[in-house]
């Protein structure tokens, strides 16, 4: 979308509840003047600087995330990072857009990996290339999916922190109880539906399902589009035309993916539409589609031996979807160089290695995979090889500004088809009309 259109959408988003300050926004970022760089290349502000940092982490990952921030501040006492939870990524995007339009953005923020072009196109971010060149930050060490998510129009607008894709988790004890081999997870759509139905159980015969076969997000505001895309791309779907000027998702592939979800819910009765994020780990669902980055939590809660891990069952072909969070510096950051000092540390090989081994996230850096610690993980736990094997067929979401709003429109159409149990074809046709408007001047 052209920048003028994107900025119009931002303004329309905040009009009902925002009051704009007068005056024009300056083009240059506000930079702290009293600074110095010590001889080892480490940047140290002469005066203490406080940087507001918005993020989306909660639960066990938030504990690790916050400990990393504390560790950095201990080593860099003149840079204080003020953490603020921005909500889940669906709501945090709107919050950031509102803050940008109201000239009240944080200094730095975690952004979903597909937000880079959205905020860069709006002129809200600082190009990191000068800092990359100055400090020797090694972009060649980044995984392809991570590097691609940082780029827009030939510039580097963010750096990767967390990389993930979608995998299948399953409860091995639940498999055994249902007479299924715990070492043989479903490998196709047909097997997934068959397993899910068999694992849906009324344990006490009271007519109420106690254990559902599978759980994954089906509501747009809980990120269902990420999961839908995996099924869509497994049917050889194409979101947009080659010229990136209109939608192309209202096809046989788009309908097949949505119909499969409908069948899981209404035909096989294997997914509870009222279920929540914790259904799998508390034993109310036997399988779950989720991010690689929750593996660490499931190991801790359920026991590593009981957690099965597999690649997504395939449709016409294998496919999963890259996800994760990047780190970005916003235009009016009080000290961009101090922000870079922090963000580049958070994106360093050592920090990324610790994050991956603890959470199950995929390495953003090639050197992490080659490290002795990660190689030991691969040798001692078969789950490591499962994690890495998915990189071969991981799809990257379109790196264009229009994708963000388009993804919401598509997700809402699929959600209506599933929850209302109706034909998705006309809903996807209607969604295409709305998506095509995003590409018009």
Q: What pLDDT sits at residue 173?
A: 98
Band (pLDDT 50/70/90 cuts) for residue 363 is: very high
- DSSP state, residue 23: S
Lowest model confidence (mean pLDDT) among 12-21, 49-58, 256-265, 317-326: 12-21
Q: What pLDDT sits at residue 165?
A: 96
Measured distance CA(275)–CA(285) in Å, rounded: 9
C-alpha radius of gyration, the chain, whole number? 22
Q: What pLDDT sits at residue 40?
A: 66
Q: Please, are residues 162 and 327 in contact by the beta-carbon 8 Å criterion? A: no
Give 331-362 as a DSSP string: TT-S-HHHHHHHHHHHTSHHHHHHHHHHH-PB
Give the domain 166-321+401-438 fold: D-Maltodextrin-Binding Protein; domain 2 (3.40.190)
Band (pLDDT 50/70/90 cuts) for residue 10 is: very low
Rounded average pLDDT over 248-262: 98
Domain coordinates in residue numbering, the chain: 3-20+27-164+323-388, 166-321+401-438
Q: Please, are residues 157 and 128 in contact by the beta-carbon 8 Å criterion? A: yes
Measured distance CA(330)–CA(315) in Å, rounded: 41
Measured distance CA(381)–CA(386) in Å, rounded: 10
Q: What pLDDT sits at residue 37?
A: 57
Give 206-231 as a DSSP string: SSS-SBBS-B---SGGGTHHHHHHHH
- Nearest Cα neighbor of 356 from 345, 369, 370 is 369
Q: Please, are residues 326 and 111 in contact by the beta-carbon 8 Å criterion? A: yes
Band (pLDDT 50/70/90 cuts) for residue 41 is: confident
Lowest model confidence (mean pLDDT) among 9-13, 24-28, 129-133, 343-347: 24-28
Rounded average pLDDT over 18-34: 37
Q: What pLDDT sits at residue 54?
A: 98
Band (pLDDT 50/70/90 cuts) for residue 271 is: very high
Q: What pLDDT sits at residue 42?
A: 87
Query: What percent of the chain has a predicted confidence (pLDDT) above 90?
Result: 88
Band (pLDDT 50/70/90 cuts) for residue 345 is: very high
Q: Between 61 and 1, where is the model more confident?
A: 61
pLDDT of 135 > 60? The answer is yes
Q: Between 318 and 324, where is the model more confident?
A: 318
Give me the architecture of the 3-20+27-164+323-388 domain, per CATH. 3-Layer(aba) Sandwich (3.40)
Band (pLDDT 50/70/90 cuts) for residue 330 is: very high
Measured distance CA(265)–CA(57) in Å, rounded: 29
Q: Which residues on adjacent β-strands are paired with residue 120?
A: none
- Which pTM value belongs to this model? 0.89
Q: Between 36 and 59, where is the model more confident?
A: 59
H or E segment at 52? strand 49-55
Q: What is the pLDDT of residues 147-200, one digit of tens each?
A: 999 999 999 999 999 999 999 999 999 999 999 999 999 999 999 999 999 999
- Nearest Cα neighbor of 119 from 395, 327, 322, 324 is 327
Asked if 3-20+27-164+323-388 and 166-321+401-438 have one fold, the answer is: yes
Rounded average pLDDT over 418-437: 98
Task: At 9, list the tokens.
Answer: 């959408």
Q: What is the pLDDT of residues 376-421, one digit of tens each?
A: 999 999 999 999 999 999 999 999 999 999 999 999 999 999 999 9
Task: At 401, list the tokens.
Answer: 């500004």
- Nearest Cα neighbor of 418 from 224, 130, 161, 229 is 224
Rounded average pLDDT over 216-226: 95
CA distances from 92 to 16, 97, 152, 330, 398 (A): 18, 9, 21, 15, 20
Query: What percent of the chain has a predicted confidence (pLDDT) above 70?
Result: 91
């Amino acid at each position: 979308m052209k920048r003028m259109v994107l900025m119009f959408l931002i303004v329309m988003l905040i009009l009902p509840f925002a009051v704009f300050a007068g005056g024009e926004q300056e083009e240059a970022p506000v930079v702290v003047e009293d600074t110095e760089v010590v001889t080892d290349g480490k940047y140290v502000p002469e005066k203490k600087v406080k940087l507001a940092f918005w993020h989306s982490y909660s639960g066990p990952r938030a504990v690790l995330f916050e400990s990393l921030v504390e560790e950095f501040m201990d080593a860099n006492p003149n840079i204080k990072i003020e953490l603020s939870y921005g909500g889940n990524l669906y709501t945090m995007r709107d919050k950031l857009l509102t803050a940008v339009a109201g000239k009240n953005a944080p200094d730095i923020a975690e952004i979903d990996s597909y937000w880079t072009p959205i905020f860069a196109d709006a002129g809200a971010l600082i190009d990191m290339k000068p800092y990359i060149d100055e400090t020797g930050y090694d972009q060649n060490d980044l995984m392809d999916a991570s590097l691609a998510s940082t780029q827009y129009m030939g510039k580097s607008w963010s750096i990767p922190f967390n990389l993930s894709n979608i995998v299948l988790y399953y409860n091995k004890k639940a498999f055994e109880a249902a007479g299924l081999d715990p070492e043989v997870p479903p490998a196709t759509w047909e097997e997934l539906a068959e397993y899910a139905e068999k694992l849906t159980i009324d344990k006490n015969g009271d007519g109420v399902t106690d254990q559902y076969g599978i759980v994954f997000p089906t509501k747009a505001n809980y990120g269902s589009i990420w999961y839908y895309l995996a099924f869509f791309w497994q049917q050889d779907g194409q979101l947009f035309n080659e010229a990136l000027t209109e939608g192309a998702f209202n096809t046989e592939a788009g309908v097949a993916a949505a119909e499969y979800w409908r069948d899981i819910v209404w035909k096989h009765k294997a997914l509870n539409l009222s279920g929540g994020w914790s259904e799998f780990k508390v034993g109310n669902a036997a399988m779950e589609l989720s991010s690689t980055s929750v593996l660490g939590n499931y190991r801790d809660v359920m026991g590593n031996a009981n957690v099965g891990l597999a690649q997504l069952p395939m449709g016409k072909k294998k496919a999963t979807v890259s996800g994760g969070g990047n780190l970005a510096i916003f235009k009016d950051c009080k000290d961009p160089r101090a922000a870079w000092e922090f963000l580049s540390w958070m994106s360093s090989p050592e920090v990324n290695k610790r994050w991956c081994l603890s959470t199950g996230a995929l390495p953003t850096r090639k050197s992490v995979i080659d490290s002795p610690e990660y190689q030991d993980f691969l040798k001692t736990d078969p789950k490591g090889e499962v994690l890495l094997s998915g990189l071969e067929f991981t799809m990257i979401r379109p790196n264009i500004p229009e994708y963000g709003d388009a993804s919401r429109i598509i997700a809402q159409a699929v959600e209506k088809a599933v929850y209302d149990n109706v034909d998705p074809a006309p809903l996807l046709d209607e969604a295409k009309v709305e998506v095509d408007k995003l590409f018009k001047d």
